[in-house]
Structure 1
Amino acid sequence: MTPRTIRVWSWLHRWSSLVCTIFALLLCVAGLPLIFKDELGPDLKLETVSTAPGTASMDDVVARALAAWPGQVVPYLFYDRDHPIVKVPTAPAMTTDPADFHYQVFDTRTGRQIEIPQPNEGFLHVMLRLHLDMFAGIWGTLFLGFMGLLLCIAIVSGVVLYGPFTRRLDFGAVRRHGGRRLRWLDLHNLLGIGTLAWFGVVSFTGVINTLAAPIEMAWQASQLVEMASQAKPAVNAARRASLDDVLSEVRAAVPGMNVMTVAFPGTPFATPSHVAVFLTGNTPITNRVLKPALADASSGRVVSVRDMPWYATALFMSQPLHFGDYGGLPLKIIWALLDIVTIAVLVSGLYLWWAKRWRPVSGAIAKRLAAAA
């Protein structure tokens, strides 16, 4: 590699890192407790019952949720992947921002209501919003996605520079002679190359996750419209089929899959005359990929079932890789340790830049003081 090429890559690494480092630090610090969101979340205090999962009437559950909040509507049902519970949000309208939902939680086996803090409040919610959009909505999410792209550039350029800068050193060597800045440089390089694969995967999947909103809009504008077009006009559009009947029809149409989300007519993920039900499989891979089914809201009949498009599947597959929540607590601990090491890499990078800027200034001041004396 020629000296000119090294200078170009060095400039690219320096400035891409400087622009995104503060935001990368924010994401790493906010993401650390999110790795353990299940362990830090509320105690559900689930009872041990002999009935099979999902035996409670969802019609009764929705009616009780609405009775507790008169004048509200239930736009969605959210089933938990790991526990036999369903979260029932109430809102003033079907298109209300999810940040303004009030949630009630019910045991899907018995229908018993479970008292827990609101999931859109508290410490974990603050950390999640900081990690997702910095409380700035879609523009905050897209901005963080751009910072993630710069971080990917910094990682690639750092790999390119690692060989030329360490070709005369043994791998992992930290020089003890030559000053503090040299030791920090060696530590920065060592920790950076040691966490390279993990940091690259987390950064790239984080960028994909920031595209969730555009991906959702693309799906709504294409496949959702196509699925709805397969249905014949409802005989009685004002009639609403029993939710239990709808779920029964969907489970019969898509056997061996688990209901994760129900979107009622009028929400962005359904149509004015259809209920959208999103299901997942039972394997470690398929339980992360959603399969949408559309049912006629008046008859409960399933009118369309499709696989999600490839770009949506890429989004779903990137999420567990990003948070490391597909391998249980041991993998989460490894993810957390790598996150802490990454924080050290980012902090050391800032220190190296600051020390390089400060050294000539402090040297000039020292010479002036010596001359004055």
Structure 2
Amino acid sequence: MPSARALKTWSWLHKWSSLICTLFMLLLCLTGLPLIFHHELGHLLGTEVEAPDRTDDRARVSLDRVLEVAQARHPDRVIQFVSQDEEDDRVWFVTLTPTPAPTDDFRSVAVDARTGEVLAEPRFDEGFMYVMLKLHVDLFAGLAGKLFLGFMGLLLLVAIVTGAVLYGPFMKKLEFGDVRRHRAPRVKWLDLHNLLGVVTLVWAFVVGGTGMINTWADLMIKYWQYDQLSALLAPYQGQPVTPPAQRASLQSSMEAAMAVAPHTRLSFIAFPGTAFSSPHHNTFFLAGNEPLTSKLLQPVLIDAQTAEVTASPKLPWYLTALLVSQPLHFGDYGGMPMKILWALLDLATIIVLGSGLYLWVKRRQPAAATARNTRATA
């Protein structure tokens, strides 16, 4: 049993860590709720690109043809990435930007992998889901916004740990789950706050922790490039970005990459000069076919001029942790049942955060009233 002084310290930490992060955590919970069902909402809103049914469903055109079709739509742009949906390999998504440098100014072209026809040019930088995503990821403030939300996530973890420490002494005279419904509203909300806080404790810690890790993604990737890729790519240092006219067939490059890890599927391709590659390579990111490995990526660097394998480095532990944390944060591992569970726990956490704010306001009201009365009688 903690001493009275220790409990006072824990209580102070819990109060202020909670108060500082509560509004931002409420925002993240509210914006995260639709993001859990982003695929389903995309189908409902008609923003999801779906491949039409065809009799020749197994036919595939060359990846080089896919690039030609996409490039023809935006000849003044360069191709940064090519990817496929994890659940549907019948559509290629080609991302084009003004330069290979990271930017929010991008265009996407969805190309039918079976026929080479353009299916759509979806805009991922507008609409309701885009606003929800940007608010959730960086508050429209770029890296600074991500790091700020990461700090708020750290405060949430402090609030969770201190709340767990305080729960035992608080509940020693009550049964677990007891809500004193016949007491004053503040007491009822306090009991409900504590009950839901304990019920969601592990989930909130996991989601808060993975969210905090996700905010460090840009820094992790930069460090990986500096720490490991720089040594692998030392022979190419100082060389300009390989121009498209001098690049080998991307189809041949993909076949070479898949031969390195045959029991995998393609997740996405990063082109020369982009954030996930080098000026001289196409980097193929391959994912496993099993549920436990489907979120883990294996990079394969292919020489853009010769279509030969340069290296296939294992990702460091911190990037592996990042890749695991991203889908876990949104409950994107166990299909619809896990998404529903994540949504229910998200709603419960909103109640915990809101009730905590309510309790703080109610607790201050008597003190404020006493202060006003003292001034009035002085």
Match of residue 78, structure 2, among 73, 76, 87: 73
Q: Is 2:63 the counterpart of 1:49?
A: no
Match of residue 245, structure 1, among 252, 261, 264: 252
Provide the residue aligned with 1:34 in structure 2.
35
Q: 1:261 to 1:273 in 2, by over 3 A?
A: same
Q: Distance in 2 between matches of 1:53 and 1:265?
A: 30
Q: Is the 8 A contact 1:228 1:294 kept in 2?
A: no
Provide the residue aligned with 1:335 in structure 2.
342
Q: 1:368 to 1:296 in 2, by over 3 A?
A: closer
Unaligned residue ranges in structure 1 (runs of 5+)? none
Over residues 62-118 of structure 1, what are the superposed CA-to-partner deviations in whole Å (9 max), with x where a residue is unaligned? 111111112211111122111122211111111140x21011111223322222531
Q: Is 2:182 the counterpart of 1:185?
A: no
Q: Is the 8 A contact 2:49 2:122 kept in 1?
A: no
Q: Is the 8 A contact 1:230 1:304 kept in 2?
A: no
Q: Is the 8 A contact 2:70 2:118 kept in 1?
A: no
Q: Distance in 2 between matches of 1:233 and 1:349?
A: 56
SS at 2:311 equivalent:
strand
Give matches, 1:327-366, under 5 Å: 327-362=334-369
What amino acid is aligned across from residue 273 of structure 1 in structure 2? H
Q: Distance in 2 between matches of 1:362 and 1:39?
A: 50
Displacement after TM superposition at 1:224 (Å): 1.8
Q: Is the 8 A contact 2:272 2:281 kept in 1?
A: yes
Q: 1:232 to 1:248 in 2, by over 3 A?
A: farther
Q: Distance in 2 between matches of 1:233 and 1:151?
A: 44
Q: Is 2:151 the counterpart of 1:150?
A: no
Q: Is the 8 A contact 2:69 2:117 kept in 1?
A: no
Q: 1:37 to 1:110 in 2, by over 3 A?
A: same
Q: Is 2:8 the counterpart of 1:11?
A: no
Q: Distance in 2 between matches of 1:27 and 1:54?
A: 42
SS at 1:59 equivalent:
helix
Match of residue 90, structure 1, among 87, 96, 113: 96
Give matches, 1:135-284, under 5 Å: 135-229=140-234, 239-284=246-291
Q: 1:127 to 1:112 in 2, by over 3 A?
A: same
Over residues 312-369 of structure 1, what are the superposed CA-to-partner deviations in whole Å (9 max), with x where a residue is unaligned? 0000011121100111111111111110010000000000000000123235657999
What amino acid is aligned across from residue 58 of structure 1 in structure 2? L
Give the CA RMSD over aligned residues. 2.2
Displacement after TM superposition at 1:7 (Å): 0.4
Q: Is the 8 A contact 2:69 2:116 kept in 1?
A: no
Unaligned residue ranges in structure 2 (runs of 5+)? none
Give matches, 1:276-295, under 5 Å: 276-295=283-302
Q: Distance in 1 between matches of 2:357 and 2:179?
A: 19
Q: Is the 8 A contact 1:293 1:302 kept in 2?
A: yes
SS at 2:314 equivalent:
coil
- Aligned length, in residue pairs: 368
SS at 1:118 equivalent:
coil
Q: Distance in 1 between matches of 2:237 and 2:35?
A: 44
Over residues 201-252 of structure 1, what are the superposed CA-to-partner deviations in whole Å (9 max), with x where a residue is unaligned? 1111111111101111011112222333478999xx7621011111111111
What amino acid is aligned across from residue 125 of structure 1 in structure 2? Y
TM-score (norm 2): 0.92
Q: Distance in 1 between matches of 2:117 and 2:337?
A: 32
Provide the residue aligned with 2:25 in structure 1.
24
Over residues 30-86 of structure 1, what are the superposed CA-to-partner deviations in whole Å (9 max), with x where a residue is unaligned? 100000001011243322335465722111111111111122111111221111222
Over residues 260-306 of structure 1, what are the superposed CA-to-partner deviations in whole Å (9 max), with x where a residue is unaligned? 11111121222221111111010111110110001111110111112
What amino acid is aligned across from residue 144 of structure 1 in structure 2? L
Which sits farther off after the overlay, 9-18 or 324-333?
324-333
SS at 1:174 equivalent:
coil
Q: Distance in 2 between matches of 1:282 and 1:52?
A: 20
Q: Distance in 1 between matches of 2:363 and 2:11?
A: 14
Identity of aligned residues (%): 47
SS at 1:286 equivalent:
coil
